[in-house]
Amino acid sequence: MEDEVKEKPKPVPVTVVGTKGGSSLVEWEGRRGYVPASSVKEGFVSPTTLKRAIPYGVPWDDLAEGLAARMHGVGIWTTDDLAHNTRLAFQTARSFKLSLGALNRFAYEEG
């Protein structure tokens, strides 16, 4: 019987948005989350670490499918981003048949 060799999962390329103390905010595949700064190796993080990342921002897709990608695309991740980019938020909300008020309520309840 041959020994089975499990392949180690390939590290995932990330962009480091910022680092403070022992944590780094990283972006990958349209998502952002906090990981230990020591886990970032030359712009890559293990898939296991990314699964355990602390999510960053408002979970927009819980309000409407596909909303997160659109909001992130215009730079709106957090309640602060929403407050400072109302014109973009309004335009994005309209494309999902939502009101700016609905976005605000959701953001402040969930974010």
For 33-71, write each residue's pLDDT tens digit.
999 999 999 999 999 999 999 999 999 999 999 999 999
The whole-angstrom separation of Cα 52 and Cα 33 is: 9
CA 78 to chain centre: 10
pLDDT single digits (tens) 6-24: 788 899 999 999 999 999 9
Domain ranges of the chain: 12-55, 60-110
